[in-house]
Amino acid sequence: MNIIFVCHGNICRSPIAEILFNELVVLHHKEDKFVIFSRATSFEEIGNGIYYPMKQVLAKHNVIYKPHTASRITKAEFDAVDYIFYMDKNNLYYLIHLFGESKKFHLISEFGDNKEVEDPWYTGRFEYVYQQIKIYCKQIYEKMTE
């Protein structure tokens, strides 16, 4: 199953979702079942790494991750994936603008409380967003491995 997590810049929310979902996959020895990555809907942060305050949250939780460089979702990636999990309605707006309506688009919390994940770049609530995404990734993983 191919999954992309998307957010605006691919430096806070979507890379965290990619990292946390990958942790679940590895923990349960399902690496052969999933391809997971993250992308932006904009060009604003292309080439940048994970935003420093989010890196601090990862360090606080002893999360190990590979180096990350922000990149924007492409048409080829859109065509190749099964699911695209977005963080908020602005992400969905840009996805529809880029690719048209699609059944591939799912709010990250679709299997839970259907809440959007705020952008911590603006709110400063990096720990809160980390905890939210951790819960939603677990719910997605459980739904996809039922």
pLDDT tens profile 1-58: 999 999 999 999 999 999 999 999 999 999 999 999 999 999 999 999 999 999 999 9
Q: Cβ(42)–Cβ(72) under 8 Å?
A: yes
> Could you say which of 13, 39, 72, 137 is catalytic?
13
> Could you say which of 7, 12, 39, 72 is catalytic?
7
82 is catalytic: no
Percent of the chain clearing pLDDT 70 (strictly above): 100
The answer to pTM > 0.95 is yes
Give the model's pLDDT for residue 60: 98
123, with CB counted inside 10 A (0-12, 13-18, 19+), is exposed
Domains of the chain, start order:
2-100+112-144 (3.40.50.2300)
Q: Tell me the mean pLDDT in the region 81-100.
A: 98
13 is catalytic: yes
